[in-house]
Amino acid sequence: MNKILLSVTKTAIALVLLPVMAFAQPQPAAQPDHMTPELLWSLHRVSGGGVSKDGRYAYYATKTTDWKTEKSVTHQYRVNVEDGTKKEWTTEAGKTITQRYDKMWFATYDNFLYQSVDSGLTWKEIYNKLQDAENVWVSPDGQYVAYSKDVLVKPMLGTDLYSDLPNTTAKVYTDLDYRHWDTWEDGKFSHIFLANIKDGTTKDLMEDEPYDCPQKPFGGGEDLVWSPDNKGFVYVCKKKFGKEYAQSTNTDLYYYDIETGKTDNWTEGMVGYDMAPAFNKDGKKIAWLSMGRDGYEADKNDIVVMDVASMKKVNLTAKWDGTVNGFIWSNSNEKIYFTAPFEGTEQLFDVAVPGMKSESENVTVNNITKGKYDVTGILGEAGGEIIVSRCDMNHSAEIYAVKPKYGDMRQLSHENDATYQHLKMSKTELRQMTTTDGATLHTWIIYPPDFDPTKKYPTLLYCQGGPQSALSQFYSVRWNFQLMAAQGYIIVAPNRRGMPGWGVKWNEEISKDWGGLPIQDYLTAIDEFSKEPFVDKGRLGCVGASYGGYSVYMLAGVHNNRFKTFIAHDGLFDLRSWYGTTEELWFANWDIGGPFWKDPAPLSYDRYNPINFVNKWNTPIMIIQGGLDYRVPIEQGLEAFQAAKLHGLNAKLLYLPNENHWVLHQQNGIAWQREFFKWLDETLK
């Protein structure tokens, strides 16, 4: 989601006077007016970095990647919120700024921790024992530093079990969670260490515990937060191991008291995900994101606030029909700003923090923004405005300032303006359709640039993954609607059952019904939109990844000749073999209904299992599979490809041995897109 500006380089050409004829001078390559894979991967990817204490500046970083070398460069900037002027924020020797307090900033480089008391102009080394440290957190007073570091707790590798076998590649496991996302378990766990910066003493707070903080595979700096009074910190951890870990989502918030050395569980009895803790400005209250049910990773995400002195908790969003993405405290401590999916977008909201009387207090959620875009993050407050990051289907993320009363926005960063000013944009619209059971289905339609309603266009049904992730105005470097439309396709992207932003009931209706109403929603969307005269019904395609790949496999067996081609990326093909090889079993237990050997067996393994419909496959299909994908392991893609070929179909396998459930390497990403559009060109003629 970051970006390199593709600028046209003007080459100086020496003018040579020739006696007989003049030769035409070579012209610089023209800036493309439609999005291309190479241009997409070269965009500046903007990420927010917070707001200065005085509210004058917003900080952000841009990451640019040369896709030819796959080397990236990160630049840090501050932008004046009042006048929009930008300054590049450089640090000596490539230091990475980790924290900005009122009077002290901290940065790391290699094994060293640095401090600045002049807003990053000069730096002083204050600690030099961060060997192999990650996620460095310094206390507000600068006396302590907490950091995470991998520690060998349970030997599982042959080289750790047998010192006389240095060349063995053996791995020995006696419990589950032996691999996760894209990594095999090696017996090491990410522990929290606390160091006194002055005397250098260090302590492993999780000694001998087979638990991780931050949470793997996606946890980071948000998994630990210092109390403003410097007396301790709260960290996130799921203190479970093996089979118990693989079947539970119960993370808790633990408070470590520096003076007593005691750790307390502040969310004991709260059995779902509890994550992203944040103290308010005076440290008297703490808020976090909380899910109510163990094993349900897509449960309604609420904001819970606790009074630290009384330990009284209030769920601020319990009665609100939505699910929260992320939040920050207001500077006044009286409100919390948060983002959430909302009717095919992600918007900015606020909620007042009450007096902590009871759960029944009248708490009102206020919808601040309502545009056709996604608010993807909140940086802070500045000058009476809220600083956020924002994107839409035609634009990668940039930094904006929002007026909280009316939701008006103004753009602060302009990292990709020079690229986008040359591009023809796609029109997007949200259409309403009636489903087979009489519900209202909202479907995004993305049109090619220069769309002409008198012509006929090939059309792609896009199947979202998740399965309970929002289909919003997101901007991706792989599943990018702007790029697809720029190749001349209309995109139909339904907010089928399971999508957040349309109420909790709609969000939950996909669980244990993967191949039921959600698949009917897809067919409703393509059938209704195909009534338009500009849709070429002889050139319909269907594409998707993860649950979207599962949807492709299911639709290939039930589409009744609607589609002319399919593309499935890391899709679930056989739910039985998938249950036996996937790692986060809480997901399979909740959404599928448990193991296939239950008596009676869950209906999903029979009624909604794509492998059971292969005998009806009759359409060309391209299958993409990552070799390091342990969420939807390699046998899923290989089984599907082999079944298609043995069934006599035109099929292609794109195998990416060094990719997980996503495509992270730039050249793999471009190869993915080239093969994607090549297949569509070949099969939607």
Q: Tell me which residues are annotated as active site.
A: 546, 629, 661
**Burial of 546: CB neighbours in 10 Å, binned 0-12, 13-18, 19+:** buried
Q: Which of 318, 343, 395 is nearest to 507 (CA)?
A: 343
94: left (phi over 0), alpha (psi -120 to 50) or beta: left
Q: Which residues contact 333 (CB under 8 A, 6 or more apart)?
A: 280, 281, 282, 284, 285, 353
Task: Compute CA distances 111 → 106, 108, 221, 490, 684, whole Å.
Answer: 13, 7, 18, 51, 55
Residue with tokens 């909302």: 342
Phi, psi of 360 (to 5 degrees): -85, 0
Whether residue 621 contacts residue 672, with contact meaning beta carbons closer than 8 Å, is answered with no
Q: Which of 444, 487, 461 is nearest to 540 (CA)?
A: 461
**Burial of 158: CB neighbours in 10 Å, binned 0-12, 13-18, 19+:** middle
Whole-angstrom distance, CA of residue 120 vs CA of residue 107? 9
Residue with tokens 């050409």: 13
Whole-angstrom distance, CA of residue 213 vs CA of residue 226? 15
267: left (phi over 0), alpha (psi -120 to 50) or beta: alpha
Q: Which residues contact 503 (CB under 8 A, 6 or more apart)?
A: 321, 322
313-315 and 302-307 strand pairing: antiparallel
C-alpha dihedral sign at 608, 641, 544, 464: positive
Other CB atoms within 10 Å distance of the CB of residue 157? 18
Q: Which residues contact 555 (CB under 8 A, 6 or more apart)?
A: 461, 463, 519, 522, 523, 542, 563, 566
Whole-angstrom distance, CA of residue 238 vs CA of residue 189? 12
Long-range contacts of 508-513 (CB under 8 A, 24+ apart): 510/467, 510/468, 510/591, 511/296, 511/590, 511/591, 512/591, 512/592, 512/593, 512/602, 512/603, 512/604, 513/608
Exposure b/e, 84-108, CB count within 10 A at least 16 = b: eebeebebeeebebbbbeeebbbbb
Whole-angstrom distance, CA of residue 623 vs CA of residue 636? 10
Whole-angstrom distance, CA of residue 422 vs CA of residue 431? 28
Residue 527 Cα to chain centre, angstroms: 31
Q: Specify the length of the chain in residues.
A: 685
Whole-angstrom distance, CA of residue 143 vs CA of residue 154? 32
Helix (H, G, I), strand (E, B) or coil at 233: strand
Q: Which residues contact 129 (CB under 8 A, 6 or more apart)?
A: 111, 195, 200, 202
Residue 157 Cα to chain centre, angstroms: 31
